[in-house]
Amino acid sequence: MKAGAPTPRSLVGVHERVKEIRDWYNSGRVERTLVALKNRGFGAEYVRTSEEAKKTILEMIPVNATIGFGGSLTLLQVGVLQALRDRGNPMITTVGAPPGPQIIEERRRALTSDVFLTGCNAIVEDGRLVNMDGTANRVASLVFGPKRVIVVAGINKIVPDLDSALWRVKHVAAPMNAKRLGYKTPCAETGVCSDCSSPERICNVISIVERRPSMSDITVVLIGEDLGL
Ligand code: SF4
């Protein structure tokens, strides 16, 4: 078939069938994960699209709540940070800030935000949350400090077991995020983890949240799209 030629009718049917089967398969994974998250004490919601996710998250957050957030491509894709900023929520951010001690101070301040928003590197179907961090401010805020935490993730972050989650962190999330952020790590060059000692190592800490920590308030919003890295 020539490039640019219309898709034959028979192929349209194939694409629809593939989508149907994928939707069926993913709905099972999502259902299992939502049940498991709730069994581990987390709030858990599913929305089909980024647009629905933005609306849902905005409704969950009071207009005067101070917002902290961990670097997350998913949050940027959903557009919720800009929407919060536009409606006047006070934001704690180091985005665009010059290097220096004020960055670490802002990250400490985010530990006491009203609402902390973050992505997630992997969500195990049994309800465990797995994340890596170079500075560890994101994984720290996830488990202690903010009054409320909202974790936002596309269904591509769901993995079948803990080994797959740890593999995903090191071999998918780390190389692509290191590349995105311009870090000088071997994985940002080769796409492969070599267990480096780089000063910019992006995976100094790997956290596994087994259950919602006592007295915390953590909700996971799963989105039926592939989002983030
Ligand atoms: S150990 Fe180094 S090479 Fe491996 S994923 Fe982490 S930053 Fe990349």
Residue 70 one-letter amino acid: G
Q: How far is the CA of 193 from the centre of ligand 1 (A)?
A: 5
Q: Give the strand pairing for 129-133 and 122-124.
A: antiparallel
Most informative mutation of 198, 204, 229 for ligand 1 (most atoms within 8 A of CB): 198
Say if 60 falls within a structural domain: yes
Q: What is the pLDDT of residue 3?
A: 56
What is residue 40's predicted lDDT score, i.e. its pLDDT? 98
For ligand 1, which residues put their CB under 6 angstroms from it?
170, 174, 178, 185-187, 193-196, 198, 201-203
Higher pLDDT, 12 or 206: 206
Confidence (pTM): 0.93
- Which residue type does 195 have? D
Name which residue sits closest to atom 8 of ligand 1, judged by CA.
Answer: 187
pLDDT level of residue 61 (50, 70, 90 thresholds): very high
Residue 2 lies in a domain: no
- What digits encode the pLDDT tens for the residues 173-187? 999 999 999 999 999
Give Cα separations from 27 to 30, 32, 48, 138, 149 (angstroms): 5, 9, 10, 29, 25
List pLDDT tens digits, range 84-113.
999 999 999 877 777 788 889 999 999 999
Q: How far apart are CA 96 and CA 170, in angstroms?
A: 27
Atom from ligand 1 closest to the CA of residue 185: 7
- The answer to the question of residue 181 being in a domain is yes
Task: Please give the Cα distance from 197 to 84 (Å, whole number).
Answer: 37
For residue 132, which atom of ligand 1 is closest to its CA? Answer: 6
Shortest-distance atom of ligand 1 to CA 197: 2
Range in 43-52, 88-97, 151-160, 216-225 with the lowest mean pLDDT: 88-97
Residue 158 counted as domain residue: yes
Q: What is the CATH number of the domain that holds 168?
A: 3.40.50.10420
Per the structure, the complete domain to which residue 180 belongs is given by 9-223
